[in-house]
A and B are shown apart, each in its own frame.
Chain A
Amino acid sequence: MLLEVEHVTVRFGGLTALADVSVQVDEGEVVGVIGPNGAGKTTLFNVVCGFVRPGQGELRWRGAVLRRHRPHQLADLGIARTLQGLGLFPHMTVLENVLVGAGRHSRAWFGSGLFALPRSDRDDRALRERALATLDRLGVADAARSLPGQLPYGAQKRVALARALVAEPALVLLDEPASGLSASEMDELADIVRGLKQHTSVLLVEHHMDLVMAVCDRIVVLDFGRCIATGTPEQVRDDPKVLEAYLGEQVDATTQEVADD
């Protein structure tokens, strides 16, 4: 197993955001996490990333327990994440945004940067090639010199994805990657996610059921912090408990998408 989340419980004051939740992701797997708004999906990601410490339960990465890990250590472990919003660096160009994400591939740091040693230039050139290749793969290489704010929303989403993928992580956590995308962009996203599988496992939070059903090998359903179902897309779709949790959600879904933008 690549990632194991075991019996994790998170409380914010009186609110239980996650209650005894377990999720596993194996190599080459795409695992979906679905559930109504406020179900605890983002909190689950925050636990994995070390932004939130679980009250109970533990995490394992490639079999080793992750204890008191910090978000900035994830990149070296091989875990990347996109945020529910965009989280791009607004005053840096698209290329620079992706270069920051590629940082783990460079050893050049303060000394070589200060004195402009050849090593700094060499590492930077290699990062640049990587970053441009990743932007190209996601179809936004033309925007390399633009600021993120100058691009349409869908393109910004790709840049955020490029920044996560350029690190070549073993696992990428995608928090609502399809929110705000058009139908055709969503199809392309599905192709991208499926294409990742060879090298990168995916943990995907998403509201668009078509996408989730199309790309996921397994789905975990959260409701009010509890895991109410898990299984293949077909099993989950036919589970009466899931239908019950989503009853009334259909009405919310439209308002929610607006709120996410």
Chain B
Amino acid sequence: MSLLRRSTLLRNGLLALCGLGIMLAVTEGLSDYRNTQLANIAVTVCAVAGLTVLTGLSGQISLGNGAFMFVGAYTVGLLLMHNPGTNNGELVLVLAASALVAAVAGGLVGVAAARLRGPYLAGITLALALGLPALPEYSHFQGKLGGHAGLNFLAPNPPGGMNFFRWQAWVCLIGAVVTLFLLANLSRSRVGRAFRAVRDDEISASLAGLSVARVQILAFTVSAACAGLAGGLFAVINGNVLPSGFPISLSLSLLAAAVFGGLGTLSGAVYGSIIVTLLPQWSYDLAHAFSMPDRVQLNLPQAVYGAGLILGMLLFPLGIQGGVRRIWALGRNALRTKPAGN
């Protein structure tokens, strides 16, 4: 018991294994459609968890993490296209490469980002999200990156005749749990404290021996690696990558998920990812539940999606995780027989 308290590795590792075990078991009972949804949620969790660490812990905003998903996805696309017959073991290396390449890209952007604050940082990351995914369409890169039509490749087959969609869910769930495990470790460590110190007060952080720029670049690199992995997983489950697969709305929905779930909390990243992945489908279903003219029916999902996010933020200004914590605290106070202090 005390070993569990003393060892972060053991504690977070056990938690991750339990969570993963439950999720993998759950996939057994799900339809192909639900398993695909689960895979998509898991992909989003990777990217949002990285973003919530960047924005919530280190205090830097990024409107462009979709660009790092693009980098990760094209890394996987190129590797799988040029190495047909990649097996499942090698897929781990391919996915690690997607995180690594995106991390390098993130580090480079981070160097610029560390000099920028607030609106300027938002601006440059936004430009990145707009510009980078257009890269394959430039004539110079069209040959290598497949231009408008993107890259097509074959992902490895499921092992042992496993259901294809279930296998996809497994790959993405493992990716998400590994991401959450590593980020949970990091947030708890001296690095996580350094992120928060820099966010709270740059001058005091530097006087405590932290190079503010270096810490900020590190946070950017970490969040880009997570987005890269998300992009890599996205490529694997789709079997192709397209320049149009990384619109600006992708980057914005990642940020919406992080804020909606509760900035800076990993559990919030999970809640937020579930919401932003499922909300479009829910609002689509809602629009179709009533027979409405086509033009309304086609646009209603967007409107419901937007309204839902706004309503959610008004109800839970600190995100879902903040709401959960408040309800938790209320419940605990109600259980106490004596009111605690004033």
Contact = CB atoms under 8 A, between A and B. Distances in A.
Contacts of A113: 185-186, 188-192
Nearest to A101: B208
Interface string B205-225: 111111110000010000000
Contact of B189 (A70, A88, A89, A124): A124
A114 interface: yes
Given A89-B196, A89-B197, A103 B210 contact: yes
B8 A121 contact: yes
A113 B185 CA distance: 6
Contacts of A91: 196, 199-200
Interface in B1-20: 6-9, 12-13
A120 B189 contact: yes
Interface in A85-120: 87-92, 96, 99-101, 103-104, 106, 108-110, 112-118, 120
Contacts of A207: none
A75 B189 CA distance: 20
B288 interface: no
B244 interface: no
From A76, A80, A116, A118, residue with most partner B Cβ within 10 Å: A116
B-side interface mostly: helix
A108 B189 contact: yes
Interface size bucket, B side? Answer: 20 to 34
B17 to A, nearest CB: 14
B172 interface: no
B206 A103 contact: no
A89 B182 CA distance: 25
A175 B251 CA distance: 44
From B194, B199, B208, residue with most partner A Cβ within 10 Å: B208
A146 to B, nearest CB: 13
A23 interface: no
A74 interface: yes
A173 B7 CA distance: 37
From B186, B192, B197, residue with most partner A Cβ within 10 Å: B197
A104 B209 CA distance: 7
A8 B196 CA distance: 35
A25 interface: no
A218 B247 CA distance: 65
B207 A110 contact: no
B200 A90 contact: yes
Interface string B170-186: 00000000000010011
Contacts of A167: 208-209
A163 B8 contact: no
A10 interface: no
A84 B225 CA distance: 39
Nearest to A127: B190
A120 B211 CA distance: 20
A115 B190 CA distance: 13
Contacts of B197: 89, 92, 100
B207 A81 contact: yes
B7 A109 contact: no
A143 interface: no
A67 interface: no
A110 B210 CA distance: 13
From B13, B189, B210, residue with most partner A Cβ within 10 Å: B189
Given A74-B209, A123-B190, A167-B209, A87 B9 contact: no
28 contacts: A49-B207, A70-B211, A72-B209, A72-B210, A75-B208, A89-B196, A89-B200, A91-B200, A92-B196, A100-B193, A100-B197, A100-B205, A103-B194, A103-B209, A106-B190, A110-B186, A113-B186, A113-B188, A113-B189, A114-B186, A114-B191, A116-B7, A116-B188, A118-B7, A120-B185, A120-B189, A124-B190, A163-B204
Interface of A: 49, 51, 70-76, 80-81, 83, 87-92, 96, 99-101, 103-104, 106, 108-110, 112-118, 120-121, 123-125, 127, 163-164, 167
Given A74-B207, A81-B207, A117-B9, 12 more contacts: A73-B209, A76-B209, A91-B196, A108-B190, A109-B190, A113-B188, A113-B191, A114-B186, A120-B8, A121-B9, A163-B208, A167-B208
Per CB-CB distance, the 6 closest pairs between chain A and chain B, nearest first, are A113-B189, A75-B209, A89-B200, A116-B9, A116-B185, A116-B8
